[in-house]
Chain A
Amino acid sequence: MKHLKLLAAGAVIATFGGIAAADATTLEQVTSRGQLVCGVNGPAGLTGFGVPDDQGNWTGLDVDMCRAVAAAVLGDATKVKFVPLGSKERFTALQSGEIDMLARNSTWTLSRDTDLGLDFVAVNYYDGQGFMVRKDLGVASAKELGGATVCVQTGTTTEKNLADYFRTNSLELKSVVFETADQARQAYDEGRCDAYTTDASGLAAERTQLKDPGNNVILPEIISKEPLGPAVRHGDNQWGDIVRWSFNAMIIGEEFGITQANVDENKSSDNPEIRRLLGVEDEMGKMLGISNEWAYNILKQVGNYGESFERNVGLKTPLGLARGLNELWSKGGLQYAAPVR
């Protein structure tokens, strides 16, 4: 029966689906496919993190994470198929093998690491949940929100944080829950709610999409820790290592000031760690099971973390986010990568 079904499905799968021997590792699947399948924020995307333009070309901080892995594994940052996923289906898509990795501003939590069978391998954005209100509401602090109606998206850690925060501060909560962030934002913008809550980075992104962005303020309180990062399936440690070190390479690149522009010159650097990173010395890539040029490809084609940050969410973008917690450790932030040795 199994074989019959497989045969019948074969023709369709050949183009529309992917089938691989059950024991093939994710790395083998990706290399034999010649393409990385990466889950990103969908269907409409999240500005700055993963969003398609009119032509369906994706950009964003999370998108760069996918591109970095593609560059490391396949040597070509464009060989990525982006699968836009809603908040509900994102983890199932990863669990079932529909996607190779998930880079969709997802919060790393204990229950997701365990119950959902995932492994979060890095934190590419340290975030926290905040509130946005209209200026004319005259509210300066989230503690004054007692009795307020709050619009929130379902299927996120946000919903629970919101309830927790109101509970611990003994405030009365009236939440209105929507299926997508778009609906929640639209309802807030139309006046259904007094406040809108999501991750602070999300608030900045969403504010650009309001009728009158200038009339809305983001309150100072950050009510939760939201370490956002790429996730892979539990149990495939090699693949987890590759994704983790692809991210680390971007951080280390920034530490050493290696950019897209000067990466070629850095190949002749005397610094042994840079030489190891760029594959001039030793065989770091081989240890990961990929090409020695892996980090060179990432930095050449995608750039370092700082470049990616400024390009997608930084001060010069509509989001206008400061580095804050996401500054390098050496500059007072939290971004810190283990050394390539």
Chain B
Amino acid sequence: MAASAERSVASAVPIWQNRTARSIFYQAVVLGLLVLLAYFFISNTAANLAKRGIASGFGFLNNVAGFDISFHLVDYDLQSTYGDALVIGILNTLLVSALGIVLATILGFIIGMARLSRNWLIAKLAAVYVDGIRNVPLLAQLIFWYFGVLSTLPGVKQSLSILDTFYLNQRGLFMPTPGFGPGFWPVAVMFGIGVAAAIVVSRWARRRQMATGQQFPSIRVGLALVFGLPILTGLVAGFGIDWSYPELKGFNFAGGTQIIPELIALTLGLSIYTAAFIAEIVRSGIMAVSHGQTEAALALGLRRKHVSRLVILPQALRVIVPPLTSQYLNLTKNSSLAVFIGYPELVAVFAGTTLNQTGQAVETIVITMAVYLAISLAISAFMNWYNRRVALVER
């Protein structure tokens, strides 16, 4: 009955005023325009490439790259391919992003809490930090850390040394590298056992607390298990670690691990910059939890440290996590500014050197963008998952 009435009304309307017809028409037009635009760009590019005889395709990834990369986490030498260089670039991007995210989060939470401190001076200092850092371009800050600060460190021969094991100079931070000999495996095994035991203990403690209300210092015991067991084993049976110490040989330090100043400057710059944004997010997250919650928790007899950990923070996190995600994404994307200070990450190695050596601009840029897109999607997927977990605490 109703359906037929609708149909009769619909049929009375001329086709160009029919909602569905119009919607389909609009969409067809938009789709057509998009396809035309894509065709326009692609055909032009293809024609341009063909006419000038510019090479195309992804085959270059298997060619020998033959240039040096100053910092790589996995093996890379002069016989490696452009594909290997791409992997190095991605790993270096991920490394600096991960370091930056951890440091920025810690610093950001400290500053954010400091802004809410009852201590006027501390709160003001935090506010000055946030306003000062947020309103100066990141690139200027990176150049400051690299050319303004790190390059004023002493030269190699005048290195600052800490106990003759750590050296700091213009070429970066040099520190001993552990080499794991055969004597190391008992320690490693005990570490694994410690982790497993800590998990068991914390489960048991939780169950007991649910059942009886009695608390158990599971965190302290857990830490003791995870670190105590392997250290004890090591003390008894020996660690079996061969430390390789940095030593001055010729122009540079040999042995040990070198953390290049480009990485230090980039990590410092990124985390200090992003921390200012995270601090604001933390502050507004905590302020979003009503003061009644604190009062109610105190009235229930919770201690102050428990109030923040068990009542305020879980609620604040729900407000904090979504904008925090976008800050993590920003940090990752901002790591591309490394190209200005010579840290060999994705953009510098691939969209820079590789693009120049091969001349295949379209392919290299497309791959670079795709990698960033994938990293972005991965981070937001992870944070969405975490966000759901945090949100589920609500009952």
Point out residues on A near B: beta carbons under 8 Å: 1-2, 5, 87-88, 91-92, 95-96, 111-112, 114-118, 137, 145-149, 154-156, 159-160, 162-164, 166-167, 173-179, 183-184, 186-187, 190-192, 194, 233-235
Contacts and interface: CB of A to CB of B under 8 A. Distances in A.
B292 interface: no
A164 B48 CA distance: 33
B48 A115 contact: no
Given A87-B356, A159-B68, 6 more contacts: A95-B54, A160-B67, A163-B66, A163-B68, A179-B342, A186-B147
B350 to A, nearest CB: 11
A92 B361 contact: yes
A116 B357 contact: no
A250 B255 CA distance: 56
Nearest to B37: A1
B342 A234 contact: no
B250 A147 contact: yes
Given A148-B252, A156-B356, A96 B48 contact: yes
Interface string B31-52: 0010011001000000011011
B348 A154 contact: yes
B294 interface: no
Nearest to A118: B52
Given A115-B54, A149-B251, A191 B359 contact: no
Interface string B51-72: 1111100000000001111100
B361 A177 contact: no
Chain A interface mostly: mixed
B355 interface: yes
B288 interface: no
Contacts of B78: 163-164, 167
Contacts of B284: none
A176 B357 CA distance: 17
B376 interface: no
Nearest to A151: B342
B251 A2 contact: no
Contacts of B69: 175, 177
Given A1-B33, A177-B353, A235 B51 contact: yes
A190 B262 contact: no
Contacts of A160: 66-67, 357
A116, A137, A176: most-surrounded residue (chain B CB, <10 A):
A176
Interface in B311-350: 339-342, 344, 348
B261 interface: yes
Contact of B356 (A88, A117, A145, A187): A88
Nearest to B171: A149
Contacts of B152: 190
Nearest to B261: A192
Contacts of B261: 192
Contact residues on B (Cβ < 8 Å of other chain), bracket: 35 or more
A116 B56 CA distance: 10
Contacts of B259: none
Given A5-B40, A192-B171, A177 B155 contact: no
Contacts of B37: 1
B342 A187 contact: yes
A146, A167, A179, A184: most-surrounded residue (chain B CB, <10 A):
A179
B291 interface: no
A234 B353 contact: no
Contacts of A173: 68
Contact of B151 (A92, A146, A192): A192
A190 B40 contact: no
Contacts of A174: 68, 70, 252
7 contacts: A92-B361, A116-B52, A117-B52, A137-B251, A178-B342, A179-B352, A190-B152
A178 B349 CA distance: 10
Nearest to B338: A179
B70 to A, nearest CB: 5
B249 interface: yes
A179 B70 contact: no
A162 B68 contact: yes
A235 B151 contact: no
A194 B54 contact: no
Contacts of A163: 66-68, 78
A149 B252 contact: yes
A177 B342 contact: yes
B151 A155 contact: no
A18 B49 CA distance: 20
Contacts of B202: none
Nearest to A145: B251
Contacts of A177: 67-70, 342, 344, 348, 352-353
B81 interface: no
Contacts of B49: 117
Given A88-B355, A154-B348, A190-B151, A117 B54 contact: yes
B170 interface: yes
B147 A179 contact: no
A179 B353 CA distance: 9
Interface in B141-171: 147, 151-152, 155, 170-171
Nearest to B356: A155
Contact of B352 (A96, A148, A154): A154
A147 B248 CA distance: 11
Contacts of B121: none
Contacts of B296: none
B353 A155 contact: yes
A80 to B, nearest CB: 24
A163 B77 CA distance: 10
B343 to A, nearest CB: 9
A176 B359 contact: no
A92, A112, A166: most-surrounded residue (chain B CB, <10 A):
A92
Contacts of A166: 68
A147 B40 contact: no
Nearest to B49: A117
A175 B68 contact: yes
